[in-house]
Amino acid sequence: MATYVPAKKNTAFIFYASLVSQANTKIMQVNPTLAAGDFNITGDGVSVGAFGTTPAVTPAASRLVKFSLASGEMNYDNVTITCSDAAGAEWCDLVINIQTAARQVDDLAYPATSGRSLVVDANGLADANAVKCGATGAGTAITARDIGASVLLSAGSGTGQLDFTSGVVKGNLAQILGTALTETAGLLAGGFKKFFNIASPTGTLNSLPDAVPDAAGGLPVTGTRLTSIPWNAAWDTEVQSECDDALVAQNLDHLVKIAVDTNLQTTVHDNSVLGYALATANVSTFDRTTESLAGLSGDLNVGIADIQADTDNIQARIPAALTAGGNMKSDLLAQNGSTTAADNIRGGGLGLVLSTCAAGSTTTSIVTNLTEATNDHYNGRVITFTNAALLGQTSSISAYDGATKTLTVVALTEAPANTDTFVIS
């Protein structure tokens, strides 16, 4: 976690404070009420404005208030925070001044030696000279050679030296895993080149058979082994013959050869894919005049004609009530067998009045788009809203102004909006 000692210029800063209660100035306010306008920042005597992040009681319901300042709010030598309860009734005013520093404790070199200073350049890099390497007080003195970006080595073939040219280190492989190498000079390097001088190898040493070359199971390397592979021009005819036999054995030759008869029993098995495609359980009795695709098309044409005839019959019987828009008008002659019930439904529908609200309505005065001009025409009736925020809400009508088309109702929960719909029953 970042530290804040001391407060650093142009670096985010967090601290905690408490606010004194107005009711009892001997104690701090518990869970003070805080608002965005209660806290303002001044930087080097110039007003910066309100906090970017409003202080908050942390932990919740405690006496502590957490102040979080962004880097931009801390980009001053003196950052002054003015705390004033805008409501003016809970906690006392408070002014907090923060003096920033260029560096924090975390920016210093660690550990430091008492009584000595550390030279730091303009880039913040420490400049130090090492005089000894090793344990404190018993290290080995270092010669006057600087260790810079690259460590300088001297080439040589003596003990502890490396043989290199132009930065390339040379070495001789004398043993592997403790076993001395006795191979002829140059052969080992040549072998490595053979195996590893491949851009994208596809095999490994495991790809090679573990057997003597030219022996049983080994790689053929001589002319005798290579020419003994049994492949010549005669094999072309043999492979063709084997393929033809396999097609006939599996009864697949009928897919490529020309049909010679109408009885497919000798060329197509009943349980083959082609056999089932012929749409008959027994291909030996296949009748191409009725069961082929051409024969089936005649049956389909007959079926299509029947469908067309039925469709024409239905269209002829559609009543004239079908409108140009595709809607059908109808009259309700009876409801559940009762013509009286149907008449009652019609009478109830004629008594309903549908309309919309106009602008300027309140919770008790509804400006409408009704056309009725008679005053109090709808007194005693009920208005029910059918959309928007008042959907389903009902109120009774006590007055109606025929000139302004305004209904007076028992107060609604909110004023209707322009174009809201309603029904009077």
pLDDT at 350: 73
Instruction: Report whether pLDDT(13) > 50.
Output: yes
CA distances from 137 to 5, 75, 142 (A): 34, 45, 14
Q: Give dist(CA 372, CA 403) in Å, integer.
A: 9
What is the tens place of the pLDDT at every residue in 179-211? Answer: 887 777 677 777 777 767 777 777 666 666 777
Specify if 78 maps to a domain.
Answer: yes
What is the tens place of the pLDDT at every residue in 411-425? Answer: 999 999 999 999 998
Task: Name the band, by pLDDT with cuts 50, 70 and 90, for residue 89.
Answer: confident
pLDDT at 324: 66
Specify if 272 maps to a domain.
Answer: no
Of the three residues 105, 120, 143, the one that is the final residue of a domain is 105
DSSP string over 247-305:
HHHTT-GGGTSPP--S-GGGTS-TTSHHHHHTTSS-GGG--HHHHSHHHHHHHHHHHHH
What is the tens place of the pLDDT at every residue in 138-148? Answer: 666 665 554 55
Q: What is the extent of the structural domain holding 48?
A: 13-105
How confident is the model over 212-231, as a mean pLDDT? 67
pLDDT at 422: 95
pLDDT at 109: 53
Task: Name the band, by pLDDT with cuts 50, 70 and 90, for residue 66.
Answer: very high
Q: Give dist(CA 135, CA 65) in Å, integer.
A: 50
We report the CATH number of the domain holding residue 356 as 2.40.10
pLDDT at 80: 96
How confident is the model over 53-80, as a mean pLDDT? 95
pLDDT at 164: 76
Instruction: Report whether pLDDT(3) > 90.
Output: no
Domains of the chain: total = 2
Task: Name the band, by pLDDT with cuts 50, 70 and 90, for residue 112.
Answer: very low
pLDDT at 334: 78
Could you give the 3-state DSSP secondary structure of residue 307? helix
Give the type of residue at 93: D
Q: Give dist(CA 57, CA 32) in Å, integer.
A: 7
Those residues with Cβ within 8 angstroms of residue 388's Cβ, 6 or more apart along the chain or in another chain: 416, 417, 420, 421
What is the tens place of the pLDDT at every residue in 307-365? Answer: 888 787 776 666 665 666 667 667 777 778 888 877 777 766 677 899 999 999 999 99
Specify if 30 maps to a domain.
Answer: yes
What is the tens place of the pLDDT at every residue in 165-184? Answer: 777 877 777 788 888 877 77
Claim: this prediction has a pTM higher than 0.95: no
Instruction: Work out the percent of the chain whose per-residue pLDDT is above 70.
Output: 66
How many C-beta atoms lie closer than 10 Å to residue 14's C-beta? Answer: 13
Specify if 169 maps to a domain.
Answer: no
CA distances from 29 to 18, 20, 24, 277 (A): 7, 5, 9, 90
Q: Give dist(CA 268, CA 254) in Å, integer.
A: 7
Max CA separation in the chain (angstroms):
126
Of the three residues 71, 105, 139, the one that is the final residue of a domain is 105
DSSP string over 43-82:
ETTEEEEE-SS--EESSTTSS-EEEEE-TGGG-SSEEEEE
Specify if 297 maps to a domain.
Answer: no
Closest CA to 84 of 44, 46, 42: 42
Specify if 31 maps to a domain.
Answer: yes
- What are the beta bridge partners of residue 354? 423
Residue with tokens 């559940």: 336
What are the contacts of 219-227 at 24+ separation with CB within 8 A? none
pLDDT at 168: 80
Specify if 171 maps to a domain.
Answer: no
Of the three residues 105, 128, 152, the one that is the final residue of a domain is 105
What is the tens place of the pLDDT at every residue in 243-298? Answer: 888 877 776 766 655 555 556 555 555 555 555 555 554 555 666 666 666 666 66
Residue with tokens 């290199």: 164
pLDDT at 74: 94
Specify if 399 maps to a domain.
Answer: yes
Query: What sign does the dihedral 59-61-65-68 (CA atoms) show?
Result: positive
CB-based contact 19:32 (threshold 8 Å): yes
Could you give the 3-state DSSP secondary structure of residue 344? helix
pLDDT at 413: 95
